[in-house]
Structure 1
Amino acid sequence: MLVAPMALVAVAVGFAAQGLAPHPYGAAHGELLDALIDTPAPAADTASEAAELRRVEARRAAVPDQQAAPGKLGLVEPEAGPPVDLEIRVALLNAGANPTLSASGAWQLLNRQGMVLQQGGPGDQISHPALGSSESEAWLQTNGSALLVNGQPYGGRLRLIREQGGLMLVNHLGLEMYIAAVVGAEMPSSWSMEALRAQAVAARSYALAHMARPANRHWHLGNTTRWQAYKGLGRSNTRTRSATASTAGLILSYQGGIVESLYAANRQISLEAHGHLGASMSQHGAQDLAKQGYRYNQILGHYYQGASLARLKAGAL
């Protein structure tokens, strides 16, 4: 990488702070409800995501962390709750204009009305002309374990959008599946579990910030280093999924807003790339702290001072 009264509305996110500036934290924060109200009406393609986010709220704990060791005060962990199922849209910007598409199981290529344009079995390639000159987009889905883009496995569904000169691919998948893959792409999965957990929270907070303010009417964020690294299911494994599951729904919050939690490989790169924006986590530094016995919430507290942990929860309608 270079969520008012519950009966009325439950809120997930507002605009994110552009970074955690030390003194002060910047202007793009405030109560989640206020921020959401101030947000312009979403484009048609992101309306469902906005509605879904309104059914979620971010709840924070406000008591000292009694489990933190002296000198290692960590961010307070909110009480556990049921998972919130959110879908994120990730543009596969480095897939190329004419990617090779297939699947590990039987697949179907559907138009917007749900009509089958093409179908095939494991390994069969999708024919780009099957999209048809009259079709501006199509959906690729499979009953197998993964969709294959240039041979690389991806979860969820793929939206194929016809553009001048080729196709734009947008991966629609569950947020937690996405986070598990990001953790594996951003950090060696062999690193300490507490470092991986800290990375999962930072990556989720960053993703939620972009779900609140999508980069494009079709997608929330891309998969290049302009955002955070995402290379599909090939970087997701038992350890990254465990780190993600054990921190499910946890994000970084400041004064009711979601923190766009910046991070970089080491302290020098973090200062050079993000120093003007505020706090940023060093990934190698997180690993070093984990080796010293720091828990993930203590690592996050070290780098994002003044922030708090919040857990996304489904709100009552």
Structure 2
Amino acid sequence: MAASRAFVNWRQLCLAAPLGLGAVGLGFWAQAVLPSGSGINGPLLDAMLSSPPTHAIPQPSAAEDLKGLAAERTPTADGFALAEPAGGIPLELEIRVAVVRGAEQLELSSDGPWWLRSADGTVLRQGAAGSTITLTTTEARPSELWLETNARHAVRVNGGTYAGRLRILRESGGLLAVNHLPLEAYVASVVGAEMPSSWSMEALKAQAVAARSYALAHMARPASRHWHLGSTTRWQAYRGLASSTSRTREAAAATTGLILSYQGGIVESLYAATSEISMEAHGHLGASMSQHGAQALANSGQRYNQILAHYYRGAALARLRQGSS
């Protein structure tokens, strides 16, 4: 995945310059943004980040000085682990991922019955499982269309299979297909696209938290008014149902709603395959997880929150949930 700014503060309601100083000392580039267009607003904002209650912070070595920041870390036999927040009613968030951009044509289908609707919900076409419809830039069709199926089935576009539904937009550069789906289904797919699903469950869980945190940062600061982020490694890899397995879904479910937080905001958690690649791509930002390193730590017996504490020093775990208590 590409290097990018690593922190978004959801509690600020105006655009601000990067905070810099203390944040960079911890390896996070801090930025406050207005979450307009994110689909998350109103009274849910204050409930978005429900962190564990503050308690005394164990003091690490001088090299790991937290500079007085209230990160939640608990001592273990092998070092530190991020404290796990209490559970609660999870937020059911929908993320928007651009899966095809600038296409001259789109081939749409589903493994169940499907409906092609206009923006106002009018059914323009419908078909049975496996039947296809091809859209091109030269056809006289509405500029916004939706491909939907029922909850038990998946939608398909140009060979990719996805949970949720597809929004198709006609733009100056061609056709755009945006996958609207539940955040946790997206996280399960990203985990399988970014890590072998055969790896240790603790490494997969660490990847799930990192992927979810990265996604939430882009839901707060979307790439476009139509989509939050793309599906390539320019953001983080997303392959729809092709990379969602029982083990990646287990990792997502075991960490439902957990993200990395820093001073009440979201850490846009960066990661790369190895520590060398991580240093080359993200060294100027500081905090970045080595995926092979995470697997090695998991194989040595460390839990996911110990792995995250190792790579994202100064961060805390927070849980997205409804309500403030």
Say whether the fold is shared (TM-score over 0.5): yes
In the alignment, is the contact (CA less than 8 A) between 1:185 and 1:235 conserved in 2?
yes
Question: Unpaired runs of 5+ in structure 1?
Answer: 3-10, 30-34
Paired letter, 2:203: A
CA shift for structure 1 position 164? 3.0
Please state if 1:124 is matched with 2:120: no
Task: State which drifts further: 300-309 or 137-146.
Answer: 137-146
Per-residue deviation, residues 212-234 of structure 1 (Å, max 9, x unmatched): 01010100000011100000011
Secondary structure at the residue paired with 2:177? Answer: strand
Is 1:59 paired with 2:63?
A: no
* Aligned pairs for 1:209-228 within 5 A: 209-228=217-236
What is the CA deviation profile of residues 96-139 of structure 1, one whole-angstrom value per residue up to 9, with x for unaligned ones?
44232110010000001111111101111123169962511100
Answering whether residue 203 of structure 2 is matched by residue 195 of structure 1, we say: yes
CA RMSD of aligned residues (A): 2.8
Residue 133 of structure 2 aligns to a residue in which SS?
A: coil
Q: Is 2:194 aligned against 1:173?
A: no
Q: 1:100 to 1:51 in 2, by over 3 A?
A: farther
Separation in 1 of the partners of 2:137 and 2:263? Answer: 50
Quick check: 2:102–2:173 contact (8 Å CA) kept in 1?
no
CA distance in 2 between partners of 1:291 and 1:202 (Å): 19
Instruction: Look up the SS of the partner of 2:320 in the other structure.
Output: strand
Q: Which residue of 1 aligns with 2:68?
A: none
2:207 aligned partner, one-letter code: Q
Deviation at 1:72, TM superposition (A): 2.8
Q: Give the strand-richer structure, 1 or 2.
A: 2
Q: In structure 1, give the amino acid aligned to 2:155.
A: L
| 1:138-179 C-alpha deviation (Å, 9 max, x unpaired) | 000012511112222100010000123531000000000000
Contact 2:188 2:252 in 1 (8 A): yes
8 A Cα contact 1:290 1:296, kept in partner: yes
- 1:18 touches 1:260 (CA, 8 Å); kept in 2? no
Corresponding position of 2:246:
238
SS of corresponding position for 2:321:
strand
Q: Is 2:115 the partner of 1:108?
A: yes
One-letter amino acid of the structure 2 residue matched with residue 263 of structure 1: Y
Whether 1:133 aligns to 2:135 is: no
Q: Within 5 Å, give how 1:1-317 maps onto structure 2.
A: 1-2=1-2, 23-25=25-27, 28=30, 35=32, 39=34, 42=36, 46=37, 48-51=39-42, 53-54=44-45, 56-61=47-52, 62-63=54-55, 69-93=76-100, 96-128=103-135, 133=140, 135-143=142-150, 144-164=152-172, 166-315=174-323
Shift of residue 292 of structure 1?
0.4
How does the TM-score come out when normalised to structure 2? 0.83
2:61 is matched with which residue? none
Paired letter, 1:237: T
Checking the alignment, whether the CA contact within 8 Å between 2:187 and 2:252 is kept in structure 1 is: yes
- Matched AA of 1:280: S
Contact 1:12 1:56 in 2 (8 A): no
Q: Give the direction of change, closer, same or farther, for the CA distance of 1:233–1:53 in structure 2 (3 Å limit).
A: farther
2:79 maps to amino acid:
K
**Number of aligned pairs?**
297
The whole-number CA distance in structure 2 between the counterparts of 1:296 and 1:52 is: 31
- TM-fit CA distance, 1:289: 0.2
Structure 1: distance between partners of 2:204 and 2:288: 16
Structure 1 CA distance for aligned equivalents of residues 28 and 117 of structure 2: 45
- Cα deviation, 1:27-71, whole Å, max 9, x if unaligned, reads 625xxxxx5xx627x3xxx26433485363211113468975312
Structure 1 residue matching 2:76: 3-state secondary structure? coil
Contact 1:196/1:240, CA 8 A, preserved across alignment: yes
Structure 1 stretch 146-155 or stretch 92-101: which is displaced more? Answer: 92-101
SS for the counterpart of 2:196 is coil
Structure 2 distance, partners of 1:147, 1:95, is 19
What residue is the counterpart of 1:6 in the other structure? none
Equivalent residues of 1:13, 1:53 under 8 A apart: no
Could you tell me which runs of 5 or more consecutive residues in structure 2 were left unpaired when the two chains were aligned. 3-8, 58-71
Give secondary structure in 2 for the equivalent of 1:167. Answer: strand
Normalising to structure 1: TM-score of the pair? Answer: 0.85
Task: Supply the distance in 2 between the matched residues of 1:284 and 1:25 (Cα, whole angstroms).
Answer: 20
CA contact (8 A) 2:26 2:287 kept: no
Preserved CA contact (<8 Å) 2:44 2:322: no
